[in-house]
């Protein structure tokens, strides 16, 4: 029986149960047509930790499972243009996964509304260049917190994960905030899945052992603080070796 925990063993129990009756697909696999057999869209929103996403992506690829990973172009927690994250999108593609745009509508708010579609395309183009393949799928970041999706139902050339096709015509289930809603949990433990399933998961929630929410986010922030401290120390060491600094220090002694 499926356990109500968020460790990799439970994750693979869940995926194994779904894969027994359903074809696991990416959003891009549905762009032209849909399988006749029951299917499950496997989606991962990378809100906080690219490292957690890569750990899960490698395990999935090794098992022949491929998902759609939605990446933010830039956030408080990671920046795809930073040296430590620039490889993430391309690595996911090399592992067989689809890379898609996870956009934060708050980054559009300072601009006139008519510019928003162009800004969306600009982020998708950037992500395409980093991934080495066109980005064709999008999903709003935290719609429950930031209001209606401004691109839902619009003809913008992308598959939107929150269009009715994927949220009403397909059963949508998410582990958002490391929690299953009651109706979702009842369906998951029953082992009987609807013919069209949209499973939205967050890699940060899953690990080698089950962790509570406080532990998960304490680890995320401790990693961020350690990385910032290392960057500070490296910068100060480089500054100390700068010729101009040496000359200034000698002159002012």
pLDDT, tens digit, for every residue of 34-90? Answer: 999 999 999 999 999 999 999 999 999 999 999 999 999 989 999 999 999 999 999
Lowest mean pLDDT of 21-25, 29-33, 137-141, 203-207, name the range. 29-33
Tell me the torsion sign for CA atoms 197, 174, 86, 64. Answer: negative
Tell me how long the chain is: 253
Q: In b/e form, how buried is each residue of 5-44, taking b as 16+ CB within 10 angstroms?
A: ebbeeebeebbebbbeebebbbbbbbeeeeeeeebbbbbb
Where do runs of H (alpha helix) occur along 172-212? 182-190
- Does 144 score more than 80 pLDDT? no
Whole-structure pTM value: 0.93
What's the pLDDT at 145?
74
Question: 172-202, pLDDT tens digit by residue?
Answer: 999 999 999 999 999 999 999 999 999 999 9
What's the pLDDT at 6?
97
Q: Concatenated DSSP letters for 84-136?
A: TTTTHHHHHHHTTPEEEEEE-GGGTTTS-GGGHHHHHHHHHHHHHHHHTS---
Q: What CA–CA distance (Å, rounded) separates 235 from 252? A: 22
CATH of the domain spanning 8-209: 3.20.20.370
Using only the alpha carbons of the chain, give its radius of gyration. 21
CA nearest neighbour of 130 among 168, 166, 88, 69: 88
What's the pLDDT at 246?
87
């Amino acid at each position: 029986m499926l356990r109500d925990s968020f460790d990799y063993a439970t994750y693979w129990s869940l995926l194994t149960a779904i894969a027994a009756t359903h074809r696991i697909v990416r959003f891009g696999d549905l762009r032209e047509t849909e399988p006749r057999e029951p299917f499950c869209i496997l989606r991962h929103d990378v809100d906080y930790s690219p490292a957690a996403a890569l750990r899960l992506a490698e395990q999935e690829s090794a098992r022949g499972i491929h998902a759609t990973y939605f990446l933010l172009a830039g956030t408080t927690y990671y920046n795809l243009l930073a040296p430590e994250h620039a490889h993430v999108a391309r690595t996911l593609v090399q592992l067989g996964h689809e890379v898609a745009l996870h956009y934060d509508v708050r980054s559009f708010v300072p601009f006139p509304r008519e510019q928003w579609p162009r800004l969306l395309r600009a982020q998708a183009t950037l992500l395409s260049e980093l991934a080495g393949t066109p980005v064709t799928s999008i999903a709003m970041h935290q719609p429950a917190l930031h209001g209606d999706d401004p691109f839902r139902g619009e003809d913008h050339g992308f598959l939107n994960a929150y269009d009715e096709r994927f949220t009403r015509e397909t059963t949508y289930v998410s582990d958002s905030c490391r929690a299953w809603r009651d109706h979702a949990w009842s369906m998951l433990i029953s082992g009987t899945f609807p013919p069209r399933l949209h499973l939205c998961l967050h890699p940060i929630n899953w690990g080698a052992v089950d962790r509570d929410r406080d532990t998960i986010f304490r680890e995320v922030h401790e990693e961020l603080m350690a990385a910032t401290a290392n960057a500070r120390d490296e910068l100060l060491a480089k500054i100390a070796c700068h010729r101009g600094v040496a000359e200034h220090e000698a002159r002012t002694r």
